[in-house]
Structure 1
Amino acid sequence: MTTRIEHDLLGDMTLPSETWYGIQTQRAVDNFQITGVPISHFPELVRALAMVKSAAAKANADVGVLEPRKAEAIQSACAEIIDGALHEHFVVDLIQGGAGTSTNMNANEVIANLALTRLGFEKGDYAKLHPNDDVNRSQSTNDAYPTAACLSLQFAAEPLTQAIADLKTALEHKGAEFADVVKMGRTQLQDAVPMTLGQEFEGFAVTLGEDIERIAEACRLLCEVNLGGTAIGTGINTHPQYQALAVRHLATLSGKPIVPASNLVEASSDMGAFVFLSGMLKRFAIKLGKICNDLRLLSSGPRTGLGEIALPAMQPGSSIMPGKVNPVIPEAVNQTVYQVIANDLAVSLAAEAGQLQLNAMEPMIVYNLLNSMRMLCSACTMLQTRCIEGIEANREQCARHVDNSIGIITALVPHIGYSNASRIATKALTSGATVRELVIGEGLLDEAQLDRLLSPQAMLAPFQET
């Protein structure tokens, strides 16, 4: 194995020649072994870092502080990384000290070495093109890293919102399929009034669909970046025209409506947009978890529970009980929800921990947000394809529950009075007789009237007798 020697302020280090990263990245790898999750685990973050570096190089060339040949080499290297090259060399653990400096230097070093080879030089020959002086020119970790984070989260939101939309569509299809299945609605796990299984699934679809726009709203806040603010937002070491050019180039390169923050000092320390996005992800996760709770209840039994729907059987459910099949897909989604809620708490604590002109905990914020988005995306797709699309209605069981319930007495209250209805309900519970039998037996209503008042049209929507 051939090697090369690199130098930084702490001294020399020998690196394998095949590595595209450099000495500062290797120090970070040695120092930070926390999650085992490297930057490359999230390709959207790698792409975003490369886009920031490319936009900066172009802006630096525009204002004359970076040689055109260097800028072109840097942009060429970034284009390769954006297309997927060398992602495996983004090796630093996502959680790290230094407010993201190690992530920024990992990007600077990989890009510098790739650019060097494009210019005909050897990796590590930083006298020809330097990770800090050239790739990181006019930047600090404190503006490059947050900007890349904002961009990467917008990229991560795209597959997530598509997965939510696909899940919503699957629930809508089930709503249409089950539109004629009358069942009992329940409040506080007790019989309430009739509804259709279709109405229940349509409700699931609507509540999830609302959050597509909420997540998009959060992403719009991420379009405001502090690129050009450098260390603390003052723009030290930049050309007066650099910020506007860099942000404009980044918007063009990324295809996102990136704009400069109105106050770069504030934007360099404020984590508000990340907290808002985290809250929206938690909101969606909680809704998703409630739906999975309902699916597990509705499918419970199947013979001694509610048993109103049948979830597709995905795997044997027990090592000791033959024939048992568990609701493993909703259970896995529920566990995803709990992790997203925990991630939101971590983001909240990290955001509050900012001090003065910087928040050094930003790497954990980015890690948890990207992780939440990926987990939710996978959970939505799994729930859609391995559960929702295969759900079947137990029409007979739904009908039995309606017939045996005292909840239908609510539909008769306007016609026999609350006191009579309460008395009939109590008698039905104690005697085992049905509401219909008792109402007819006492002569409160005749069969024709009951047929009208207990019809689906009367019980499932506002109804006025004609």
Structure 2
Amino acid sequence: MRTEKDFLGEVEIPDNVYYGVQTMRALENFKITGYTADKEFIISLGIVKKAAALANMEVGLLDATIGKAIVQAADEIIEGKMFTEFPVDPIQGGAGTSFNMNVNEVLANRALEILGRDRGDYAYISPNNHSNMSQSTNDVFPTAIRVCTIRRGKKLIKSLKELADELEKKGSEFKNVLKIGRTHLQDAVPITLGEEFFAYASSVRRAKKRVDRTMTFLHEVNMGATAVGTGLNADPEYIKAVARHLSNLTGEDFKTASNLVDATNNTDVFADVSGSLKVTALALIKIANDLRLMASGPRAGLHEICLPARQPGSSIMPGKVNPVIPEVVNQTCYQVIANDLAVTMGVENGQFELNVMEPVIAFNIFNSLRFLTNAIDTFKNLCIKDIKANEAMCQAWLDKSVGIVTALLPHIGYEQCSALAKEALANERGIKDLVLEKNIITAEDLNVILSPKEMTEPGIAGKSLLCKRCI
């Protein structure tokens, strides 16, 4: 053990860890979720700290020997070598101070070790004076949230694109599968299964654009704002340099916010990001629910499509297979929607020069990004890719439906269509059978009228029979 102290007193620290007294206090104070920090967030903190150390050395504030050791320690964090050194709970009081000091202590102690000194020798390298030079939790923490959100957001955007591509492939595969459309869960006019899947792809691409748009707002950072946005203890040249180094380290175009006070005390950008994730979840729920309904049965449901069988569906009913992948997608999306509410309340509850609820905002945004990415990849790989159309059942429902009578409107008029619909419903007859039985339209003409192209594309191919009669 080693003894470290702060202004509250002394604390015993296990000598085999790099963190120190403030991390130990956080472990005592915040036993909330049982989780530790998102690994991508730890890496992002390392990136921010490395940028700050490089900027401080560049402007002559940080001794090069100490600065290089801190940079080396930061690199080890970025490389994922020190995840176990960040044990603090992600939901914590203090606006992220425990996170910031956790990384400051790890950087200082690892830098001391690199230079051949004992851990805890803070007179030589201090978590506050060196690791945290020209910084405050209030600019480091929100900047790291931005870096992490962009990194995770890129993965989500990639997954959304791949899902849309896969849905479009299915759209092409099913383009000639005619089926009955439904509105109000009732029979409507025909549509192709392909058109439905193309529509799903379109909604996913729109979700991707929405998420991508919100990511652009995250590139304004408040590094150099320090405690309240006034830049106290931050050299103006450092403020310029740190944004440049952050850009170089990440490949992103980070800029110093035009109003550092605003960027320090307002967190509305995170509500925007979370909102785009919620809307993405809503789009996925719609798709998953449609697939569950179309695959329902198989003997006593719609059974228009066949979902891939992934596991036995019951502990008591032999042979039962459930739509487990759409179900897990739905549940994931419900959690994302719940996370958005927590983010909303966190953003709403900032006061004056700081929003102290940033830890819960970060926790829920990171979870939503990770959950959605995993769910989308699961949806694509374990469900969408292997969906099959049940063309026979699609045709059977179409033949039984009264909805196809709408396609006859331009040819025989509304009144005769209404009479046919009424008779078909009363006697449980098919529209096609009645039309042929009554010699209203020839079989040849009816096949053209009820073809997928005629019924599912705007306009009418040639003059209608009704118009011909008028002539």
Q: Same fold (TM over 0.5)?
A: yes
Q: Which residue pairs with 2:468 in the alignment?
A: none
Amino acid at match of 2:218: L
Q: CA deviation at 1:124?
A: 1.0
SS in structure 1 of the partner of residue 91 of structure 2? coil
* Aligned equivalent of 2:16, options 9, 14, 18: 18
Q: Which residue pairs with 2:323 in the alignment?
A: 327
Matched, 1:102 2:79: no
Q: CA deviation at 1:216?
A: 1.3
Matched, 1:68 2:64: yes
Where structure 1 has 5 or more consecutive residues not aligned to the other structure, the ranges are none
Q: CA deviation at 1:446?
A: 2.7
Distance 1:212 1:120 in 2: 49
Q: Which residue pairs with 1:135 in the alignment?
A: 131
After TM superposition, the structure 1 = structure 2 runs for residues 397-436 of structure 1, keeping only pairs within 5 Å, are 397-436=393-432
TM-score (norm 1): 0.97
Q: Which residue pairs with 1:246 in the alignment?
A: 242
Q: CA deviation at 1:29?
A: 1.1
Q: Which residue pairs with 1:8 in the alignment?
A: 6
Identity %, equivalent residues: 49
Q: Which residue pairs with 1:458 in the alignment?
A: 454
SS in structure 2 of the partner of residue 241 of structure 1? helix
* Aligned equivalent of 1:173, options 132, 149, 169: 169
Distance 2:243 2:320 in 1: 58
CA deviation profile, 1:419-459 (whole Å, cap 9, x unmatched): 22122111101112211222234443232322221112211
Matched, 1:192 2:188: yes
CA deviation profile, 1:308-333 (whole Å, cap 9, x unmatched): 01111111111111111111111111
Q: Which residue pairs with 2:260 in the alignment?
A: 264
Could you tell me whether the CA contact under 8 Å between 2:189 and 2:404 is conserved in 1?
A: yes
Distance 2:22 2:159 in 1: 38
Distance 2:409 2:267 in 1: 54
Q: Which residue pairs with 2:30 in the alignment?
A: 32
Q: Which residue pairs with 1:120 in the alignment?
A: 116
* Aligned equivalent of 1:216, options 203, 208, 212: 212
Distance 1:455 1:252 in 2: 58
SS in structure 1 of the partner of residue 135 of structure 2? coil
Q: CA deviation at 1:202?
A: 1.3
Deviates more, 1:146-155 or 1:190-199: 190-199
Amino acid at match of 1:77: A
Distance 2:218 2:23 in 1: 27
Q: Which residue pairs with 2:303 in the alignment?
A: 307
After TM superposition, the structure 1 = structure 2 runs for residues 352-363 of structure 1, keeping only pairs within 5 Å, are 352-363=348-359
Q: Which residue pairs with 2:286 in the alignment?
A: 290
SS in structure 2 of the partner of residue 192 of structure 1? strand
* Aligned equivalent of 1:146, options 131, 142, 147: 142
Displacement over 6 Å in runs of 4+ = none
Distance 1:67 1:419 in 2: 91
Distance 2:305 2:259 in 1: 55
Distance 2:454 2:176 in 1: 14
After TM superposition, the structure 1 = structure 2 runs for residues 430-445 of structure 1, keeping only pairs within 5 Å, are 430-445=426-441
Q: CA deviation at 1:83?
A: 1.1
CA deviation profile, 1:150-179 (whole Å, cap 9, x unmatched): 000001112111111221122122112112
Q: Which residue pairs with 2:345 in the alignment?
A: 349
Distance 1:10 1:294 in 2: 59
Distance 1:200 1:33 in 2: 48
Where structure 2 has 5 or more consecutive residues not aligned to the other structure, the ranges are 464-471
Distance 2:224 2:415 in 1: 73
SS in structure 2 of the partner of residue 94 of structure 1? coil
Say how many residue pairs are matched: 462
Q: Which residue pairs with 2:469 in the alignment?
A: none
Could you tell me whether the CA contact under 8 Å between 2:207 and 2:283 is conserved in 1?
A: no
CA deviation profile, 1:76-116 (whole Å, cap 9, x unmatched): 11111111111111111110000000010111011111111
Deviates more, 1:236-245 or 1:416-425: 416-425
